[in-house]
Structure 1
Amino acid sequence: MTERKPPGVSFESFADKQIRDAQARGEFANLPGAGEPAPAVAETEYDELWWIKRKMAREGIAVLPPTLALRKEAEDTLAAAAVAPSERVVRRLVEDLNVKIRDMMFKPPPGPPLGLKPYDVDEVVREWRERRAARPTAD
C-alpha cells in the first residue's frame, strides 16, 4: 500500500522516493515489454493521443459526433425492425428512434448535420409484413 505524503515534503520529492524504494525492492523488474521501445515510439508517425486511441480500441469504445452516432443507431434500429418478432416490437423500435431524431432535429448538437427525418412507422411495418410474408415457413 502506498503511504501518504508527509506534510512539508514536496510531492515531487515524495514521488521520487516512492519510485526509488520500489526499484530497490525490485518491483519494476521483469515487467512486460521491458527493454522494448514504447509503442508510440515504434509507430512511424508520432501522435500525442496514441495511448488514448489504443485504450479506446482495446476497450471497444468509439466516439462519434452525436449526429453520426444517431445515424448509426437508425441504421441498426431499422435492421432490428426488419427481423423483429412482432408488429408491436417494430412499432416500438421505430417510434423510439423517431423520438431521438425529433429531439436532435429541434435541438441540434455541434457536428455535422443529422440528415435524417422521422420514419413513417406504418411504412416500416408494411415493409416488415412484406418481408415476413415472403419468408418460407419452417414446418
Structure 2
Amino acid sequence: MERVEVSVTHDSREAAMRYRLRREALERGEDDPEQVEPDGGSPIMSEAERAAVVDVAIDQAIRRGDFENLPGAGKPIPGLGTSHDPDWWIKRKIERERLTGLGPPALTLRTEYATLAARVDEFGTETEVREYLDDFNHRVIEARRQLLGGPPVVTPTVEIDQWVRDWRGRRDAAARRASADEGPRTRRRPRRRFWWRGRA
C-alpha cells in the first residue's frame, strides 16, 4: 500500500479526517484528494485558506477593540533577558497563586526551609519539634536521591538538637515577654479608704 504523508495541523480531528479522505481517494485512484468533500459537506480548507480565515478573524477582533486594554499592555515582559529556566512557569504559578505543597521537591523544600523557624514555633512540645525536624531532614535526603530530573535540591538538612535549643530559647523569651506585659496590668491598685468610712 502506498504511504500517505499527512501535514501537521492544529486540529487533530481535521487531520484525522484529512488522512482518511486522502487514503480513500488514493485507493479509488483519484488524483486530487485535497478536494474530496467529507460526507457531502464543503471541501477541506487548504493551509492558505486557513491562514486567510485566521487573518480575517484577527483583523475583525482588532477593529472591535478586543486587544485593547489587555493586562500588561505597554509594560515589559517580566523575566525577559534573564537566564533560561525550564521551570519558570511553575515557579511563577506557585508564587502568583501562593500555593504550598506543589511543585518539584527542590522548590517546595526551599520554601519550607525559609519559614522553618515560624513553623517550629507553632509546636507546643519538644517531641513534636523533633518529629517535624526529623521528617524535614528525611524529605530533603529523599529528594536528593531521586533521579527524576528537575532543579537540584540545595536545601540543607538541619541540626535537630541546635534547632530544639533555639526553639526552647524563643519560647522562653516569649513567655518572659508575656509575663512582663501582663504583670503591671494584673497588679491591683490599693483601695483607697476615705476617712468618713473608717469611723463608725
Task: Tell me the TM-score normalised to structure 1 length.
Answer: 0.53
- Percent identity at matched positions? 21
Offset at residue 103 of structure 1 (A): 0.7
Give 2:192's aligned residue: none
SS at match of 1:32: coil
| 1:116 and 2:153 matched | no
* Ranges in structure 2 where 5+ consecutive residues have no aligned partner: 1-13, 15-41, 99-103, 183-200
Q: 1:20 corresponds to which residue? A: 59
User: Counterparts in 2 of 1:51-130, with a 5 A limit?
Assistant: 56=92, 60=96, 67=106, 70-81=109-120, 83-87=121-125, 89-107=128-146, 111=151, 114=154, 116-120=156-160, 122-130=161-169
Q: CA deviation at 1:31?
A: 2.0
User: Once the 2 structures are TM-superposed, how far is the Cα of residue 77 of structure 1 from its aligned partner?
Assistant: 1.4
Distance 1:70 1:110 in 2: 13
Unmatched segments (≥5 aa) in structure 1: none
- Give the residue type in structure 1 aligned to 2:136: L
SS of equivalent to 2:170: helix
Q: Which residue of 1 aligns with 2:30?
A: none
Asked whether the equivalents of residues 90 and 125 of structure 1 are also in contact (C-alpha less than 8 Å), the reply is yes
Contact 1:22 1:28 in 2 (8 A): yes
Deviation at residue 89 of structure 1 after TM alignment = 4.5
Residue of 28, 36, 39 corresponding to 2:75: 39
Structure (1 or 2) with the larger CA radius of gyration: 2
Deviation (angstroms), 1:47: 3.7
Q: Contact 2:61–2:67 (CA<8 Å) still a contact in 1? A: no
Q: Supply the RMSD in Å over aligned alpha carbons.
A: 4.4
Show CA shifts across 1:16-59 (max 9, x none).
12123334xx42179227xxx84349xxxx7498xx89xx49x6
TM-score, normalised with respect to structure 2: 0.41
Change (3 A) 1:99 1:133: same
Q: Per the alignment, in what secondary structure is the counterpart of residue 31 of structure 1?
A: coil
Report the residue type matching 2:132 in the other structure.
Answer: L
Residue correspondences, number: 119
1:112 deviation in Å?
A: 5.4
Partners of 2:163 and 2:142 lie apart in 1 by 20
Amino acid at match of 2:133: V
